[in-house]
Amino acid sequence: MSVSRFWRKIPQRYNLVGTQCTTCGRYFFPPRSLCPDCRRSGKIVDHKFTGEGTVVTYTVIRSASDQFEHTTPYVLAVVELDEGPRLTTQVACTPEEAKIGMRVKSVFRRVAADGESGTIHYGTKFVPVE
Amino acid sequence: MRDVAVIGVGCTEFGEHWGTSFRDLFVKAGALALEDAGVTGEKIDALYVGNMSAGRFVEQEHIGALIADYAGLATNHVPSTRVEAACASGGLAFRQAVIAVASGMEDIVVAAGVEKMTDVGTGASVDMLASAADREWEGFAGATFPGLYAMIANDYMHRYPLTREQLAQVAVKNHENGARNPIAQFQNRITVDTVLNSSLVADPLRLFDCSPITDGAAAVVVVPLDRAREFTDSPVRVLASAQASDTIALHDRRDISTMDATVAAGKRAFAQSGLAHKDIDMVEVHDCFTIAEICAIEDLGFCKKGEAGKLTADGVTALNGDIPVNTSGGLKACGHPVGATGIKQIYEIVSQLRGEAGARQVDAEIGMAHNVGGTGATVVVHILGA
């Protein structure tokens, strides 16, 4: 991912800041600038999520793209935040620990790097909650 | 709107064509289709070319012009358009051709699909295929394409009684069909053990749950139905052409294990054609992964949610079953050159309806094609009748 494309989303990637449509109350992460329900009559504002959620489904990636190959195997999951929206994320746990329905919370982690001299991408991963 | 018919089809062998270029693959398929249709190049009014990612696989964009040029049609100034919807690019190119003819705008139109995937390494192709999903919010987190379908499989198996063995039966059945298809990439039969002993790609999906990286091209010629007999004694009618969208990211779906775009496109296709499920004699579904075929059978309405695994294990979807699914070998065994797959499905249905499918021939008068882009963000469904 190019520096500008990553840099543009730093607030969302570093702090789990999404959006909310105050017209209908629905929360969005990844953030949306247009509410798919209210469309142009919706009013979108930023919203910082608490970062707690539940694993909806997951997998263990054994064969990855070049950028992630050195981190295999890793747990990839769809997590539903307590406020409602879902996102795709890595869960920092062993393949054996991962299960559907497990409670997780967000943490700040290194996600990937663009080659040897490229940008290091930091962002949100999740860890199991005791 | 005018009724539309397919009058000719052509397809290259699917596989690793290291000695053949992107453009040569297309030219071969196009020439076969024109020869089959009995049409000469100067009669062609328009070209639609399905291609997912030549820009990244072979670093060539402007595919419409390239294809028209090397098909010998550039100096005729034929309008040529590239159509892109990830792995649904081919099905969508066919739909654009059908729309062009149905509208009365064009008369003789070639719809084609082509992809050359083996010029790059596996890690690079994994990354390119991941671009069919949401790059910023799925790919960024390390999602691969098999990984996304694996999450569908885990969600499905958590909620429905699908066993790992039943899932493997999808691949076993499709290899059985591929073994009877001379253009298939894999013409070897496999067993459930072959699947279960293959390496894990993304749990629970193993190597033999996944369609391969493939080079290939396919082309078909469509004309108004009332002109079809000028060219052939066995035109195949287009009875329905439907398309639907859904969210680009899997995490935003209403239901992870149901492709709502397949449900919507399937319903539209049945409504357009006035046909019911019992009228469909064979289906080519988008089995990029074994779980995708399970979901497709259910989402198209051929059985209830949760029942496709048992249906497959019971042989209902086999060549001699009630509803043969993926007689070509599907994406799994026939191969999956992403932009070409949707056209190859039309090629297979036309071959079957004309009674030219050889060792994999089934008794069919009406066939359905189901082509998926991404994890279900675009779905194209066609119904064809002899």
pLDDT (tens digit per residue) in B148-179: 999 999 999 999 999 999 999 999 999 999 99
What pLDDT is recorded for position B71? 95
The answer to whether position B343 is within a domain reads no
Confidence of residue B123 (pLDDT cuts 50, 70, 90): confident
DSSP conformation class of B85: B
User: Among B136, B143, B251, whose Cβ lies nearest the Cβ of A86?
Assistant: B251
Q: Is there a single domain that holds both residue B101 and residue B165?
A: no
What pLDDT is recorded for position A66? 86
The answer to whether position B66 is within a domain reads yes
Tell me, yes or no, if B35 comes closer than 8 A to chain A by beta carbon. no
Sequence-separated contacts (24+) of B25-28 with Cβ below 8 Å: B25/B114, B25/B116, B25/B215, B25/B216, B25/B217, B26/B67, B26/B70, B26/B71, B26/B112, B26/B114, B26/B217, B26/B219, B27/B70, B27/B71, B28/B217
Q: Residues A67-72: what's their mean pLDDT?
A: 92
Rg (CA), chain B: 19
Q: Residues A82-97: what's their mean pLDDT?
A: 98
Tell me, yes or no, if A61 comes closer than 8 A to chain B by beta carbon. yes
- Rounded to the nearest angstrom, the minimum Cα separation between A12 and chain B is 11
Note the Cα B244 to chain centre separation in Å. 15
What pLDDT is recorded for position A9? 87
Q: Which residue of A has its CA nearest to B125?
A: A65
Catalytic residue among B87, B288, B295, B303: B87
- Rounded to the nearest angstrom, the minimum Cα separation between A5 and chain B is 9
Name chain A contacts of B203, Cβ cutoff 8 Å: 59-60, 62, 95
The verdict on whether B336 is a catalytic residue reads yes
- Rounded to the nearest angstrom, the minimum Cα separation between A48 and chain B is 17
Range of the domain at B51: 4-121+214-236
Tell me, yes or no, if B209 comes closer than 8 A to chain A by beta carbon. no
Q: For B89-102, what is each residue's pLDDT tens digit?
A: 999 999 999 999 99
Q: Is there a single domain that holds both residue B14 and residue B142?
A: no
Q: What average pLDDT does chain B have?
A: 97
Write out the two tokens for A11.
């607030």
Tell me, yes or no, if A102 comes closer than 8 A to chain B by beta carbon. no
Q: Is there a single domain that holds both residue B205 and residue B101?
A: no
For β-strands A103-113 and A120-128, DSSP reports them as: antiparallel
The answer to whether position B186 is within a domain reads yes
Q: Is there a single domain that holds both residue B30 and residue B113?
A: yes
User: Among B130, B150, B155, whose Cβ lies nearest the Cβ of A65?
Assistant: B130
Catalytic residue among B17, B175, B286, B336: B336
Interface test with B, best of A12, A55, A57 (most B CBs within 10 A): A57
What pLDDT is recorded for position B303? 98
Are A66 and B123 inside 8 Å of each other by CB?
yes
Domain boundary among B236, B270, B293: B236
Are B120 and B19 in contact by the 8 Å Cβ rule? The answer is no
Are A76 and B147 inside 8 Å of each other by CB?
yes
Q: Is there a single domain that holds both residue B172 and residue B263?
A: yes
Confidence of residue A30 (pLDDT cuts 50, 70, 90): very high
Name chain A contacts of B154, Cβ cutoff 8 Å: 57-59, 100
Q: Is there a single domain that holds both residue B16 and residue B96?
A: yes
- Rounded to the nearest angstrom, the minimum Cα separation between A130 and chain B is 22
Instruction: Tally the domains of chain B.
Output: 2
Helix/strand/coil percentages in chain B, nearest 5: 40, 20, 40
Name chain B contacts of A69, Cβ cutoff 8 Å: 123
Q: For A14-27, what is each residue's pLDDT tens digit?
A: 999 999 999 999 99
Q: For B256-283, what is each residue's pLDDT tens digit?
A: 999 999 999 999 999 999 999 999 999 9
Q: Is there a single domain that holds both residue B162 and residue B174?
A: yes
Confidence of residue A114 (pLDDT cuts 50, 70, 90): confident
When mean pLDDT is compared over A119-128, B115-124, B251-260, the highest value belongs to B251-260
Q: Is there a single domain that holds both residue B114 and residue B175?
A: no
Q: Is there a single domain that holds both residue B57 and residue B166?
A: no
The answer to whether position B177 is within a domain reads yes
User: CB pairs below 8 Å between A and B: how many?
Assistant: 107
Q: Which residues are CB-contacts of A96 (< 8 A; sequence separation ≥ 6)?
A: none
Q: Residues B335-361: what's their mean pLDDT?
A: 98
Confidence of residue A1 (pLDDT cuts 50, 70, 90): confident
Are A61 and B126 inside 8 Å of each other by CB?
no
Q: Which residues are CB-contacts of B121 (< 8 A; sequence separation ≥ 6)?
A: none
The answer to whether position B76 is within a domain reads yes
Are B142 and A90 inside 8 Å of each other by CB?
yes
ipTM of the complex model: 0.96
- Rounded to the nearest angstrom, the minimum Cα separation between A11 and chain B is 14
What pLDDT is recorded for position A88? 98
Tell me, yes or no, if A90 comes closer than 8 A to chain B by beta carbon. yes
Are B203 and A1 inside 8 Å of each other by CB?
no
Confidence of residue B58 (pLDDT cuts 50, 70, 90): very high
Alpha-carbon distance of B315 to B374, in angstroms, equals 28
Note the Cα A68 to chain centre separation in Å. 16
Are B140 and A111 inside 8 Å of each other by CB?
yes
Q: Is there a single domain that holds both residue B110 and residue B158?
A: no
Name chain B contacts of A66, Cβ cutoff 8 Å: 123-124, 126-127
What values do phi and psi take at B48, rounded to 5?
Answer: -125, 125
Q: Is the dihedral of CA B21, B85, B254, A22 positive or negative?
A: positive
Alpha-carbon distance of A29 to A20, in angstroms, equals 9
Confidence of residue A3 (pLDDT cuts 50, 70, 90): confident
Q: Is there a single domain that holds both residue B117 and residue B169?
A: no
Are B203 and A77 inside 8 Å of each other by CB?
no
Q: Is there a single domain that holds both residue B194 and residue B271?
A: yes
CATH number of the domain enclosing B369:
3.40.47.10
Are B312 and B232 in contact by the 8 Å Cβ rule? The answer is no
Alpha-carbon distance of A118 to A96, in angstroms, equals 33
DSSP tally for chain A: helices H, then strands E:
2, 8
User: Among B141, B202, B250, whose Cβ lies nearest the Cβ of A62?
Assistant: B202
